[in-house]
Amino acid sequence: MGGHVYRYIDEFTLDGVLSPVSVTSEHRADPVAVPVFKLRPTESVAHVPGQLAKVCSPSVVVSRPIERSDLLHSNGAARQALRPENELVLSFCEFLDRNGYPTRRLQIRHTANHASLFTDIWVDSAFLLIEAKARPERREVSDAIGQMADYTRFLPNPQRAILLSASPKADVIELAHAERCAVIWPSSKGGWLSSVGWFRQLGIRLAMP
């Protein structure tokens, strides 16, 4: 940038690492690969359960425990009675909790005298909104995209992901990506896979084509 050095002074949180770029300097001829860090202002990041970004009105958006949390320690017989979507949410929340990422959900009081909206999963520390669907089909993914479009009217640009029970087809993943949503599903080898590499810090592996 014209040989000038620019310094930005503020509080930021690391929001991801982009692909390295090659740069040169006056001190060496060979280009050097330098990682590019994506930063998010701290005021847009939730740090503790119940604390959301300043732009979220506490009268509208509230962080709540997941209402199914009493099932997290249920025995196998009780789990058999869960709906497939609830079982999916339960398994994924247990995985995140074990990896040190407590799960919550958001209650959104969108309109006076109307029932609140409730998200499926909210991960405060990753500023991540997740909507779960039992089937990896186009219709279910389209529904999840619509739901998150509704939720994110009240949230300051969260990361978004759709949790599915199995790997979806490529065109369904493309649909999700077109609407800025990642896709997550269980791996047949154990653990969880994602259509993007954003969630490695959560212990979710990138699915290789």
- List the single range of 25-34, 134-143, 152-161 with lowest mean pLDDT: 25-34
Residue 34 lies in a domain: no
Average pLDDT over every residue of 101-112: 84
Residue 168 belongs to domain with CATH number: 3.40.1350
From residue 129, alpha-carbon distances to 3, 23, 85 in Å are 40, 35, 16
Say whether pLDDT at 68 is over 90.
Answer: no
For the chain, how many helices (H) and strands (E)?
Answer: 4, 11
**For residues 209 and 199, what is the distance between their CA atoms, to the nearest angstrom?**
17
Q: What order do you get walking across the sheet with 105-108 strand by strand?
A: 61-64, 105-108, 117-118
Average pLDDT over every residue of 159-187: 95
Residue 159 lies in a domain: yes
Residue 200 lies in a domain: yes
Say whether pLDDT at 186 is over 90.
Answer: yes
**Residue-level pLDDT at 17:** 62
Provide the β-strand partners of residue 32: 23
pLDDT in tens, 112-153: 667 888 899 999 888 899 999 999 999 999 999 999 998 988
Q: Which domain holds residue 163?
A: 46-206
From residue 42, alpha-carbon distances to 12, 13, 124, 200 in Å are 5, 6, 13, 21
Residue 38 lies in a domain: no
Average pLDDT over every residue of 146-175: 92
Residue 40 lies in a domain: no
Average pLDDT over every residue of 10-23: 61
Say whether pLDDT at 188 is over 60.
Answer: yes
Residue 172 lies in a domain: yes
Structural domain total, the chain: 1
Three-state DSSP at 129 gives: strand
Residue 169 lies in a domain: yes
Residue 131 lies in a domain: yes
**For residues 73 and 79, what is the distance between their CA atoms, to the nearest angstrom?**
10
Alpha-carbon dihedral sign for residues 169, 179, 191, 165:
negative
